[in-house]
Amino acid sequence: TYYPRAGDALPKVSLAIYQLGAAAPLPVDLSTYDDEILISHVNWSPDGQQLYFQVQNRQQTWLDLCTVGSDQSKPRRLLRDTTDAWVQSPGAPHYLDDGSFLWLSEATGYRHIQHITAKRRRRRVLTAGKWEVQKILGVDEDLGFVYFLGNRESGAESHAYQVPLGNGRVTRLTRQAGNHSVRFNDSCSHYIDY
């Protein structure tokens, strides 16, 4: 069965990296965690040399973003998000050319964009407030803007916004009231609004 029945033991999760031509997969060492964990998202870095994965406790009140080299078994924790309620997996980080990335964090109780530096030692908040970023739509690194879907004006509406990557004011792009579903072209110079 896909889900344990009431009273059944919870399934134990594991993670391994298989290199083509290798005799066996290389298990990732998750011994720093107890047996009551979830792995909620797994993805490769853009260069294919690092595996990023998210580990959560069963109650999903914290989420760790970890990385491990393709030829290593010992992971490194990059960050931890915690809440008193529930941490939703934000999906893969949005990687930038300089090795840093954008992360959707619920650390304040609202989902907002944080810029995690290349050395992963600093979080810089790009959006904040009593509203949520729903999705990162794209990044124009040449012009220095992050485009995203959010509900700053009303929880009943969804709009496209932009915020400078360096720091600055959030600007709403969609004008008509309602729920907008926006898709940018690859260069973020144009978008389609559904």
Look at residues 193, 174, 166 and name the one whose alpha carbon lies nearest to residue 182.
193
According to the model, what pLDDT value does residue 22 have?
A: 85
The per-residue pLDDT string of the chain (194 residues; one tens digit each, 9 = 90 and over) reads 466 677 777 788 999 999 888 889 999 999 999 888 999 999 999 999 999 999 999 889 999 999 999 888 899 999 999 988 889 999 999 999 998 999 999 888 899 999 998 776 678 999 999 999 999 999 999 999 999 999 999 999 999 999 999 889 999 999 999 999 999 999 999 999 99
Look at residues 16, 19, 35 and name the one whose alpha carbon lies nearest to residue 27.
16
Contacts of 19 (CB under 8 A, 6+ apart): 26, 70, 71
Asked if 63 contacts 42 with a C-beta cutoff of 8 angstroms, the reply is no
Which amino acid, one-letter code, is at 152?
Answer: R
Look at residues 165, 157, 90, 139 and name the one whose alpha carbon lies nearest to residue 148.
139
Phi-psi region of 109 (alpha: psi -120 to 50; beta: other; left: phi over 0): left
According to the model, what pLDDT value does residue 120 have?
A: 66
* Cβ atoms within 10 Å, residue 40: 18
Look at residues 189, 173, 111, 143 and name the one whose alpha carbon lies nearest to residue 181.
173
According to the model, what pLDDT value does residue 1 have?
A: 47
> Which three-class secondary structure string do you get for 123-183?
EEECCCCCCCEEEEEEEECCCCEEEEEECCCCCCCEEEEEEECCCCCCEECCCCCCECCEE
According to the model, what pLDDT value does residue 167 have?
A: 83
According to the model, what pLDDT value does residue 41 have?
A: 95
Full-model pTM: 0.87
The residues with which 115 forms a beta bridge, in sequence order, are 102, 124
CA distance 41 to 48: 16
By residue count, the chain amounts to: 194
